[in-house]
Amino acid sequence: MKIQHVRALITGGASGIGRAMVRELAKVGAHVAFCDVNAEAVAAAEADAAALGGVVKGFVADVSSEADVVALIPAVADALGGLDVLVNNAGIFRDGLLIKQDKATGSIQKLSLANWQKVIDVDLTGPFLCAREFAAHCVATSTRPAIIVNISSIARHGNRGQSNYSAAKAGLIADTKLWAEELARYGIRAAAVAPGFVRTPILEGMRPDVLAAMLEKVPLGRPAEPEELWQAVRFAIECDYFTGRCIDVDGGLQV
């Protein structure tokens, strides 16, 4: 697939990695839509990327809502003149240890079901809903090749304090392999990209000593830039023989 010709939807595209992807697609003249839950952030990101070229459309949608996703996919296709790339990027954190005992009182704090479920809803159910509706739309309306790119994480191997996030990101890798097998007959590929530490507002908001300790585990000694994640996503889109696999972009981080 030639990147200049794609019609792409980026979920969680109003900030961080997603916003960088929207900008990079706009730069090459592609038609790109994105969604996010914050209307003001969507408007700002749309205005920012629209100045770079291409066709850029922002939508307010919650990927964990079936009704939102069912409405989103045809609306995006109408706005872009079709749809052949889905990047499942939207994600959230609600970190916490499974249990934690207070040394002074002996009381036990538990990871709440609400925090478990919210992360699973956005980070795993959201990609499922988007992939399902995207694939159904492509099969029903288009003869062009298509691809789903899932943004997983190095945390899929298990990361302390992230039972919910690790489970969701591991699930995305399993789904990537399964969707590649199930959808190949329709000309739809599925791929994944797994970042390590990426320079985003969340990372930059960490205490310097905590961030430094994290980066000591990275052989390259720094976080990735969002644009470096885009390079992996672009490869997955453009290489028509790439499917069912995950690209780790983690600076050689050992897990």
Predicted pLDDT of residue 203: 74
* pLDDT at 145 > cutoff 90: yes
SS3 (DSSP) at 99: strand
- Take residue 193 and report the two structure tokens written for it: 């990209």
Architecture of 3-249 per CATH? 3-Layer(aba) Sandwich (3.40)
- Exposure letters 158-189 (e unless 16+ CB within 10 A, then b): eeeebbbbbbbbbbbbebbeebbeebeeebbb
Concatenating the DSSP letter of every residue in 32-64 gives EEEEES-HHHHHHHHHHHHTTSSEEEEEE--TT
d(CA 168, CA 64): 13
Cα atoms in the Cβ-side hemisphere of radius 13 Å centred on 123: 27
197 confidence band (pLDDT: 50, 70, 90): confident
Give 193's DSSP letter: E
Say if CB 6 and CB 55 are below 8 A apart.
no
d(CA 179, CA 131): 9
Residues in CB range of 205: below 8 A, 6 or more apart? none
Give 14's DSSP letter: T
Which is more confidently placed, 160 or 151?
A: 151
* pLDDT at 32 > cutoff 70: yes
- Take residue 220 and report the two structure tokens written for it: 């390259």
Residues in CB range of 199: below 8 A, 6 or more apart? 223, 224, 225, 226
The whole-number average pLDDT for the span 218-246 is 94
Tell me the average pLDDT of the chain.
Answer: 93
165 labelled catalytic: yes
Catalytic residue among 116, 128, 134, 165: 165
* pLDDT at 143 > cutoff 90: no
255 confidence band (pLDDT: 50, 70, 90): low
pLDDT in tens, 166-177: 999 999 999 999
The rounded percent of the chain whose pLDDT value lies above 70 is 98
Q: What is the 3-state secondary structure (H, E, C) of 208-249?
A: HHHHHHHHCCCCCCCCECHHHHHHHHHHHHHCCCCCCCEEEE
Beta bridge partners of 58: 34
- Take residue 253 and report the two structure tokens written for it: 């981080």
- Listed by start position, the domains of the chain span 3-249
* pLDDT at 209 > cutoff 90: no
CA 128 to chain centre: 12
pLDDT in tens, 67-83: 999 999 999 999 999 99
* pLDDT at 84 > cutoff 70: yes
CA angle (100, 101, 103) in 5-degree steps: 135
Predicted pLDDT of residue 254: 67
Give 147's DSSP letter: E
* pLDDT at 202 > cutoff 80: no
Say if CB 123 and CB 165 are below 8 A apart.
yes
